[in-house]
Each structure stands twice: as structure tokens, then as C-alpha cells.
Amino acid sequence: MIESADVVIIGGGIVGSSIAWHLTEGGCRDVLVIERETQQGKGSTGKSMGGVRAQFATTVNIRMSLYSIPFFRSFDERMDYPSGYRPQGYLFVATSQRHMDYLRANFERQTALGLEAVELLSAEDVTRMAPQIRPDGIVGGSFCSTDGFVDPYSVMKGFMLRASDRGARLWRGVEVTGIEVDSAGVSGVRTANGSVATRTVVNAAGAWAAQIAKFAGVDLPVEPMRRMLVPTEPFGKISQKSPMTIDMATGFHFRPEGLGLLMAWNDPDEKPGYNTNFDPAFVEKILTRGVSRFPCLEEVEVNPRRAWAGLYEMTPDHHCIIGAAPGVRGLYLANGFSGHGVMHSPATGRITADLILKGCSDVVDTKAIGLERFAERRLLEEPVVL
């Protein structure tokens, strides 16, 4: 008997799981999610920092956050499963007038779109909110109290469990080896375990999305990029109630994690590739930048063996690609989140399900995030990528 499904989703991470749930919420129950790993969350989902924010520069990202963050807030009740949402905020620290002008322009756009919890801060406000910070050169900042963190693995599991309750299926440990196309468009998916007949396929393959798209003859401008995260040992000098704090001068940022901190910094010298090995030399790099703004971090202890590396799926303009693939009827893309896949997973699930089931979505202007924008040179600009 040949397997079949109304919709096949390639990739069982947080994005694929959200799409599966939103499809079942919309009435489509014959959904098959194919995950090549034996367990979900072994890709970018399980290695994410888990930050969620609405403090973005572009309308697309702000609108996606305005859908996603309230979703996380009600996730536990809706899914009967914990999201781990902690609204401790994001604190952006500006150390130049250019930074402050950027935050002010963002603030105006964010509030115009309906974000009420964001505020601009004076230098005194910043030092009061982060008393351990070195105040030299700080000119102000911005803070949003509904920003914060979630548990990516738990959110993914909640989405998939509830989708499964409605009939969605999950295949684990199954590699996709091809996408079949005929004169009418997508006709099936080939896997190492055999073929699946379907007229609708969603590429939610994360850092491996370009390879999946190539099976259908689609060139997808998504590249993997290593991002390393460094947890500290228990550290009492910075409150566990602190927000995600970003030094805009260096890009160094951290948030509370357990009894310590989780530190991150995007090394500009990092090259694209599937490297997920943690480089111990990165510890000195990140601490140098951290200590320059938070001198108390000189006393923090770090065990490099507890640090890890994951992959961002980067696009040329650091914005996602969501929508129908040009020229291949029935193939949909949900890729290239450039570090925002976890935080925008609810919106991505809703938008993708809307496009499949209704042909349109009211969450965002889907033309703005379609693949065609690259050929048409309609690139978006989000200067701060964490």
C-alpha cells in the first residue's frame, strides 16, 4: 500500500511542528511530518537561546512577534503543555547617538503597530535596570516587558503532541531523498523508507532547507552559520530576574539561565558551513566583550565542556522566506529565519497554514517575505541580528 498525506512537512523542529498544529487547527488532519533524526529538536531548535522579542526594526518582524508572543503567553493553557515563557524583557543598551536614533525609530514603528509594552530609556534608566553595568558611554536604551525567553524544546513538543492528537503523524529517523514533480506540480516525496504521495509539501528543514529545495529545482538562498552559546557556572552577581541584555557596541548579550547566565555573541569572522563543533577559544572572545560592559563578569566561571554550537539558517537580508515556491505548484517554504525561528514559530505556523488552506494570511504582508523578493531586489533590512 502506497503511503499518502494531504500535506507533508519536511522537518520536525519547532517550525515544522507549529505548522503541523496550525494546519490541524484549520481542519487539515491528514498531515505527515518527516524528521530525519531519531528524536525531534536535534537541529537548531534544541540548541537555541530561546529568546523572544518584539523589538525589531521591520514591520514584518514586529507583526510576527505581535502574533507569536501572546501565543506563547497562552501556550500552556491552549496546549496543556509548558512553553517556559518568562517575560523578563529585552534591554538594548545604546552607547552612541546612532544607536539611540535606531532605537527611537524602531520604537515609533513598534508603537504604531500596536506594541504597548516598549519604552525608551535614559542612561540613568539603563543603569538602574542593570546596576552591574559599566555606565561609561551609555546614552540610553530601550526595554520591552513582554519580551523574554521560552523553552524551545518544550514548545516544539507541545505543538507536535497536540497536532498528533488531531491525527497528524510524525515519522522520525526518516531521511527525505527527493521531491517528485509532474505537470501539475508536486506529486510526492521520496524517502529512505519509500515514497509518499501528496500534492502539498512544506520545506521546514532549517539549515538544510536549500538541499531540500534543490530536490524540486528551486534555488533557495539559505546558508548555515555556526552560533556558539556559553553557559556560566552559578553566578550571584547578576540577578536571575534580569532581562536579556544586549550591548549594542559589541553585540554581546546574555540572559539568566539556571543559577548562572547564558552568554552569546555573533563572531563576524564566522564563515558559512555545517560546523557545530564548539571552539574553546570562543570563551576568551566572548568574556572579553562581556567584561568590557559588565566588569563583574571577571569573576564568572565557565566550563567550555558545557558550551555548545548550533546553526542559524541565514538569508541575504536576515529575514525569513515563507510562501509558495515560484514555479512549483504545491511546494511551500518556511525557511531562513536567521536566528528568529523559535520566537516566530507560532506566526510561521499560522501564516503557512493560512497560505495552504486559504491562499492568503492576515498576519503579515506575505509578498514581503516571499522568495521572489530576492530576484526582484526587494530586500528587507534588519540591522540587529542576535
Q: Give the DSSP per-residue string, 221-279.
A: --EEEEEEEEEPSP--SS-TTPPEEEETTT--EEEEETTEEEEE---TT--BS------
Q: What is the pLDDT of residue 345?
A: 98
pLDDT number for residue 189: 98
Q: Which of 373, 344, 332 is nearest to 7 (CA)?
A: 332
Q: Is the dihedral of CA 90, 93, 96, 101 positive or negative?
A: positive
Q: Which grid coordinates belong to 375?
A: 530576484
Q: CA 210, CA 221: separation in Å to the nearest integer?
A: 7
Joined together, the cell numbers standing for residue 149 give: 525567553
Between CA 93 and CA 246 the distance in angstroms is: 6
Domain boundaries, the chain: 3-50+152-222+316-375, 86-148+224-309
Residue-level pLDDT at 373? 97
Task: Write out the three cell numbers for 197.
Answer: 504521495
* CATH superfamily assigned to domain 3-50+152-222+316-375: FAD/NAD(P)-binding domain (3.50.50.60)
For the chain, list residues with pLDDT below 50: none
3-state SS class at 383: coil
Helix crossing, 345-357 with 152-165: angle to 10°? 30
Q: What is the pLDDT of residues 215-253, one digit of tens each?
A: 999 999 999 999 999 999 999 999 999 999 999 999 999
d(CA 137, CA 24): 51
Burial of 112 (0-12, 13-18, 19+ CB in 10 A): exposed
- The answer to whether the predicted template modeling score (pTM) of the entire model surpasses 0.85 is yes
CATH, domain range 86-148+224-309: 3.30.9.10
Helix and strand element counts for the chain (H, E): 10, 20
pLDDT at residue number 32:
98
pLDDT of 46: 87
How far is 274 from 153, CA to CA, in rounded Å?
21
The pLDDT of residue 51 is 97
312 φ/ψ angles, rounded to the nearest 5 degrees = -85, 150
**Torsion over CA of 357, 360, 362 and 368, rounded to 10 degrees?**
130
Question: Hunting for cell 536535534 — which residue is that?
Answer: 42
| Bridge partners (DSSP) listed for residue 244 | 90
* E-state strands within the chain: 3-4, 7-10, 31-35, 51-52, 90-94, 118-122, 140-144, 148-149, 169-172, 176-182, 185-191, 194-197, 201-203, 223-231, 244-247, 253-257, 260-264, 308-314, 321-324, 331-335
Q: Which residues contact 236 (CB under 8 A, 6 or more apart)?
A: 259
